Structure 1
Amino acid sequence: MMAGIMSYFGRRDTKQSAREAIVVLRQQLQMIEKKEEHLQKKIDQDLKIAKANAVSNKPLATSALKRKRFNETQLEQLRGQQMQLEMQVNTLESANLNKETMDAMKKAAQALADIHSGMSVAKVDQTMAEIQEQRAVADEITELISNPVGVDMGDQEELEAQLAALEDEALTDRLMGADHVPIHVPAGAVPAAKQAVTEDDEEAALRQLQAEMAAM
């Protein structure tokens, strides 16, 4: 029956075909359930007739029991068919889920392949090596920019030695110059020799003034 259902749908989309097959199977199950309900009612009715006529009308009771047995056989067959259909529905649903899962995995695998199409372990290693090389170049450039232009370490050491020599020379000059420091003379103080000369000049001027007044 399953092969007939699948051949009925032909080579259409498997996902859609599986869904339609499940719909057909469920419709068949509903029809079987209705038949089972109808047969069960007939079985119950025949059993009731057989019980009612078991003593008073044995032929009628016997006929009712035969119909009951026949309907029970049909009911068992329908239940077997129902079980088969339910198993097919479960199988189709599981297969459909597996198909959808596999399709999703294939799409994911293709997406990964597209992402990695331009990548490889060798290319990644090469890129990382180039990054390390460029970092080293950047560090070297930074170091060169940070140092004074035109002055290397040898020149720097020579300049520091010359500066130390000049400092020693300046200190020596300061120590030697301390012996010739002039003595500080307080303000208003006049040396004795200069003071004597000043007094002589004043006396001479005074005598000259007195002589001029006497002549008058």
Structure 2
Amino acid sequence: MASGGWGWGSLFGGASAAKSKDSAKNAILGLRGTLDMLTKREKHLQNQMDEQDAIARKNVNTNKAVAKAALRRKKNYEHQLEQTSAQMLTVEREISSIETANINKETLDSMKAAQKAMKDIHGNLTIETVDQTMEDLREQHAIGDEIAEALTQGNLGQAVDEDELDEELAELQQEELDNKMLKTGTVPVSDQIHSLPNAAAGELRGNKHTVEEDDEEEELRKLQAEMAM
């Protein structure tokens, strides 16, 4: 855990950072050595306590003096064990503090390096420079649009006149009607209707409908006469 963050210091702080890194590393190595020694001592004292406890139990009924002496030694070992445990906690706390301090320093160094890199990248770039650049771009786009419009002016067709289209369509219909009259000598009612103005075409459709109704009345009278017979 302690060695994981040491790789950054030499990148950003030069000799000073390397010295600080070595100092933190050496301190942690020393503390870990002390912790290993205390761990071994803790295990040894626990074994001594277990051994004296076994002696006291063995002689509790047969030799009380021996049992009492074993309990006294056990208490002494227990006291030493408590001291050792407290020392271990202190060493572990110091190791954690140094590791945290080292990580904080490495983080700060990294942030300083990032700030310097951002400053170098931006250089003389300012908000005013950006605004001016964007304004220049907009002006160039506008000039480009004006140039394109000037180059195409007069080459594009004018808007279509709907009245002219209607007149042209009427001429085509008349030509088609004339061709049919030359071929057949008669004009179909549907063509007459389509070729006439709207009002006249409507009147013609009305006359056709009246003729159809008269034919129906004639058929009905014939049918009634037959039924009477």
**Correspondence for 2:141 among 122, 135, 158:** 135
Deviations 1:13-34 (A, max 9, x none): 2233222222221111111010
2: CA distance, partners of 1:106 / 1:15: 17
**Segments of 4+ moved more than 4 angstroms:** none
| Residues in 1 aligned to 2:121 and 2:96: alpha-carbon distance in whole angstroms | 37
Report how many residues are paired. 139
Deviation at 1:64, TM superposition (A): 1.4
Gaps of 5+ in 1: 1-9, 149-216
TM-score (norm 2): 0.55
1:104-119 aligned at under 5 Å gives the runs 104-119=110-125
Which residue among 13, 37, 43 is the counterpart of 1:37? Answer: 43
Structure 2: stretches of 5+ with no match in the other structure = 1-15, 155-229
Quick one: distance in 2 between partners of 1:90 and 1:35?
22
1:144 aligned partner: 150
Letter in 2 for 1:15: K
- State the alpha-carbon separation in 2 of the partners of residues 54 and 11 from structure 1: 63
1:48 matched residue in structure 2: 54
CA distance in 2, matches of 1:20, 1:134: 64
Give me the whole-angstrom Cα distance separating, in 2, the residues matched to 1:34 and 1:128. 72
2: CA distance, partners of 1:76 / 1:52: 25
Distance 1:17 1:31, change over 3 A: same
Which of 97, 105, 109 is matched with 1:99 structurally? 105
The secondary structure found in structure 2 opposite 1:55 is: coil
- What are the superposed Cα offsets for residues 17-75 of structure 1, whole Å, 9 maximum, x if unpaired? 22222222111111101011111111111111112222322222222111111111000
1:78 aligns with 2:114: no
Alpha-carbon distance in 1 for matches of 2:35, 2:73:
24
Aligned to 2:73: 67
Partner of 1:126: 132
Say which of 32, 48, 53 aligns to 1:26: 32
Point out the structure with max Rg over C-alpha: 1
Change (3 A) 1:12 1:63: farther
Q: Distance in 2 between matches of 1:11 and 1:54?
A: 63
Give, in angstroms, the shift of residue 90 of structure 1: 1.7
Partner secondary structure for residue 13 of structure 1: helix
Q: Distance in 2 between matches of 1:84 and 1:117?
A: 49
Deviations 1:82-114 (A, max 9, x none): 111111122222222222222222222211111
For 1:57 and 1:19, how far apart are their aligned partners in 2?
Answer: 55
Percent identity over the alignment is 42
| 1:11 Cα deviation from its structure 2 partner | 9.1
